[in-house]
Amino acid sequence: MASKTTGTQADIFARIKTDHDTIRSLLEKTEKANGSGRAVFEELQRELWAHSKVEEGVFYASLKKAKEAKSETVEGLNEHHLINGLLDELNAMKTSDSGWKEKLQVLGELVRHHLDEEEEELFEEARDVLDDDRAAELGGAYDDRKKHIMAGLAPL
């Protein structure tokens, strides 16, 4: 099903998909930097951290009581926890450290799995729970919260 918009306001599905595409691009750039891309990694880390906080606070919170999406929501929260743990570990290392590249590879696999699963499974379940108006409302809330969080995140 295509994402809907209300005027210029993207619904929650389109907004999250845009973030996912940004994350995929940053992940690819970080992997291609081959150990020399600390700045790109830090940008990826900020984006992933902000995305997970906003997604949990807006999207997942709106699905919390919906039994249709409960399993996928709990799984997504657990994956966010694992992703943030790997980010912390990578952040504590130098890109030249032994094991950094391999840990980044694990992060990439987990992130791609998580994004694909959300788009292919959770979105479908959420569309059964959220009507178009609620999806548009959540898209606006997502944008507002993301801007607020990103403004408070200084470059690492």
Reported as a single tens digit per residue, the pLDDT across 21-62 is 999 999 999 999 876 778 899 999 999 999 999 999 999 999
Q: What is the pLDDT of residue 64?
A: 85
**Phi, psi dihedral angles at 58 (to 5 degrees):** -110, -60
Round to whole Å and give the CA distance between 80 and 114: 8
Q: What is the pLDDT of residue 4?
A: 45
Instruction: For residue 5, list its beta bridge partners.
Output: 10
Residue segments in the chain with a per-residue pLDDT below the cut of 50: 1-8
User: What residue ranges do the domains of the chain occupy?
Assistant: 10-152
Token readout for 72 is 């996928």
Round to whole Å and give the CA distance between 97 and 156: 19
Q: Which helix (H) or strand (E) holds 47?
A: helix 38-54
- Give residue for tokens 């569309």: 127
Question: Model pTM?
Answer: 0.89
